[in-house]
Structure 1
Amino acid sequence: MTDLLTLIAVPMAAGGLQFPEMSPALVSIDFGFIGLGTFHLRWYALAYIAGIMLAWQYANALIRRPDMFGGKAPATKEDLDDIMFWIILGIILGGRIGYVLFYMVPYQQDVIAANPMSVLKIWDGGMSFHGGLIGVTLAMLMIARRRQLDLLPLGDIAGVVAPIGIMFGRLANFINAELFGRKTDSAFGMVFPEGYVPGSTPPAYDWAARQWVYSGQEFARHPSQLYEAALEGLLPLVVLSILIWKFDALKKHGLVAGLFLLMYGAGRSIVENFRLPDSFASDLPFGLTMGIILSTPMWIGGAWLVWNALRPKPLHKPD
């Protein structure tokens, strides 16, 4: 096993801020005595749970104030409970299916051919935000049709609460030392552990030794997970909350949803210049990345929603 002093010295020698190296799990419980191995309560799972629960509470707070929507809330609490169930399924299924379609099918056909069941191994990592967004959209379309609800104000609620989950998810990426950025000499550079531990998730964490492993070849990199937490999560949450609570933005149906799509698309496109692209999709032309390409429909859809919400509505003449 690599000496602990060497593990600590690597980030100091590489330059840059040191990764905080907290455990990827809040607690680990050994059930080996009954043959179940070790259970890790991971921060990543807790981030998903916390993001969903806080978003749910925020959405409930909004529908309790029908005046914010112009006099009538777009859903009841029972509607919202049903919607959240299907949204969770949309996040999980859409996120995984999106990753398979956007990344594995075009770039990792050899992995699928060697083990077709790998497409189901969600526990090994591989979730696409854009796939999750499609899954959530389809879930909301289904519920709105089934319960005869107005889709646009529902989308506005989703637009203002979604950044909570995004922010927590990106912070969990940081704790997992995954999706880090490109090499940098800036003062914000951070040395992430990159030593590979076979069969481990995160791949650079030794669960047996309970420590991060460094290869000795690390460089300071942009902590792009924190950039994304700020630009894709915190900033949209603050801006959209100000717009709905101070400027009655929810009364213009579709406006908040459109602004969320535009802000996320902008934030993601900016951070893609600092985030390390996937090795199997790093040779796209014109400096594009898959994240930028997949954000393009968000720009288009967001712009249409904002235009539709702000354009003058025709006056209805009495018969």
Structure 2
Amino acid sequence: MLTYPNIDPVALAIGPLKIHWYGLMYLVGFGAAWWLANYRAGRSDATWSKQQVSDLIFWSAVGVIFGGRAGYVLFYNFEQFLANPLWLFKIWEGGMSFHGGLLGVTTALFLYGRQINKSFFEVADFTAPLVPLGLAAGRIGNFIGGELWGRVTDASWAMVFPGAGTLPRHPSQLYQFALEGLLLFTIVWWFSSKPRPRMAVSGLFLLGYGSFRFFVEQFRQPDAHIGFVLADWITMGQLLSTPMILLGAFMLSWSYLSKQQQRGNI
């Protein structure tokens, strides 16, 4: 069994002001996305200006924060929302959902694309490879905060998390860091480094994230107030990831099918 490092979740405290590692990880994620976007926009075949990249990151950040909070409240704590609708706006109390953040970013990309006269998938395909490193940073924030731990196990790399009892558990945050973060980034970044049919990069991202998340949920402890939502083994995370897998596979297949049809009509 490994020893949980038990890092103070508060990175910096100045009087009543407390800056948490989780919040800093968001800054790391957006900073990495900004750098990668500028790197890609600097290529000779890119059609993005530096100003457009900066605006894209800003719009995405707004979508992540508001969508992530709304998704957490509606998907995971709807009863509390019904009891106190204003709780939706108490972002400082914590609680974010990737699937909600995805919906928020999707809306933001659609609106921003209209503003700069780019199609939705032109914006989405450019943005998708930038996301996984931000997800990786967020999972490190979860690990430092000792939250979203895994299920009880006797694996040699298990850890005892503060607040999770005395039994060793899967460090599922690190599994998500490795799969949804580093591995997904490697796959999507490589795939997008060459010309692909419109929609293909976005489809691969949805398919990859949904598949990795569905897999890791088998090791992650379900939310205590929700438990399993279907068949005594399907979690909310798996339920929300299933449409991503199906939609991503459809988008990826359709993008190449449409390209072949266009060639056939030439």
Give the secondary-structure state (helix, strand or coil) at the position aligned to 1:280.
coil
Cα gap change, 1:18/1:255 in structure 2, threshold over 3 Å: closer, same or farther?
Answer: same
Instruction: Please list, as runs of the form range in 1=range in 2, the aligned pairs for 1:32-181 lying within 5 A after superposition.
Output: 38-67=16-45, 73-105=46-78, 109=79, 111-112=80-81, 114-181=83-150
C-alpha displacement of 1:74: 4.3
Instruction: Please list, as runs of the form range in 1=range in 2, the aligned pairs for 1:1-319 lying within 5 A after superposition.
Output: 16-30=1-15, 38-67=16-45, 73-105=46-78, 109=79, 111-112=80-81, 114-194=83-163, 217-245=165-193, 248=194, 250-286=195-231, 287-311=233-257, 312-315=260-263
Whole-Å separation in 1 of the counterparts to 2:82 and 2:240: 25
Give the secondary-structure state (helix, strand or coil) at the position aligned to 2:18.
strand
Give the secondary-structure state (helix, strand or coil) at the position aligned to 2:77.
helix
- Letter of the aligned partner of 1:257 in structure 2? S
C-alpha displacement of 1:86: 1.3
Q: Deviations over 1:96-143 (max 9, x none)?
A: 1111211222xxx2x345544322222222111000000000111111
In the alignment of these two chains, the number of paired residues is 263
- Letter of the aligned partner of 2:24 in structure 1? L
Q: Deviations over 1:213-235 (max 9, x none)?
A: xxxx4110000000001110100
Structure number with bigger Rg = 1
- Letter of the aligned partner of 2:48 in structure 1? A
Give the secondary-structure state (helix, strand or coil) at the position aligned to 1:189.
coil
Identity %: 41
Whole-Å separation in 1 of the counterparts to 2:100 and 2:199: 21
- Letter of the aligned partner of 1:289 in structure 2? T
Cα gap change, 1:98/1:112 in structure 2, threshold over 3 Å: closer, same or farther?
Answer: closer
Whole-Å separation in 1 of the counterparts to 2:47 and 2:124: 10
Provide the TM-score with structure 2 as the length reference: 0.92
- Letter of the aligned partner of 1:234 in structure 2? L
Whole-Å separation in 2 of the counterparts to 1:59 and 1:291: 29
Q: Do the aligned partners of 1:74 and 1:149 also contact (CA within 8 Å) in 2? A: no
Whole-Å separation in 2 of the counterparts to 1:149 and 1:76: 13
Whole-Å separation in 1 of the counterparts to 2:118 and 2:221: 41
Provide the TM-score with structure 1 as the length reference: 0.78
Structure 2 runs not aligned, ≥5 long: none
Q: Do the aligned partners of 2:214 and 2:242 also contact (CA within 8 Å) in 1? A: no
- For the aligned residue pairs, the C-alpha RMSD in angstroms reads 1.8
Give the secondary-structure state (helix, strand or coil) at the position aligned to 1:138.
helix
Cα gap change, 1:317/1:127 in structure 2, threshold over 3 Å: closer, same or farther?
Answer: closer
C-alpha displacement of 1:240: 2.0
Q: Deviations over 1:159-216 (max 9, x none)?
A: 1110010000000000000000010011121011117xxxxxxxxxxxxxxxxxxxxx
Whole-Å separation in 2 of the counterparts to 1:176 and 1:283: 24
Q: Deviations over 1:46-76 (max 9, x none)?
A: 1000110111110111122143xxxxx3432
C-alpha displacement of 1:150: 2.7
Cα gap change, 1:231/1:317 in structure 2, threshold over 3 Å: closer, same or farther?
Answer: closer
- Letter of the aligned partner of 2:18 in structure 1? H
Cα gap change, 1:316/1:146 in structure 2, threshold over 3 Å: closer, same or farther?
Answer: farther
Cα gap change, 1:173/1:159 in structure 2, threshold over 3 Å: closer, same or farther?
Answer: same
Corresponding residue for residue 206 of structure 1: none
Corresponding residue for residue 203 of structure 1: none
Q: Do the aligned partners of 1:180 and 1:221 also contact (CA within 8 Å) in 2? A: yes
Q: Do the aligned partners of 2:33 and 2:133 also contact (CA within 8 Å) in 1? A: yes
Q: Do the aligned partners of 1:18 and 1:192 also contact (CA within 8 Å) in 2? A: no
Whole-Å separation in 2 of the counterparts to 1:143 and 1:164: 22
Give the secondary-structure state (helix, strand or coil) at the position aligned to 1:41.
strand
Whole-Å separation in 2 of the counterparts to 1:61 and 1:88: 19
Which deviates more, 146-155 or 123-132? 146-155
Give the secondary-structure state (helix, strand or coil) at the position aligned to 1:26.
strand
Whole-Å separation in 1 of the counterparts to 2:85 and 2:107: 26
C-alpha displacement of 1:285: 2.3
Give the secondary-structure state (helix, strand or coil) at the position aligned to 1:27.
strand
Q: Deviations over 1:4-24 (max 9, x none)?
A: xxxxxxxxxxxx221101111
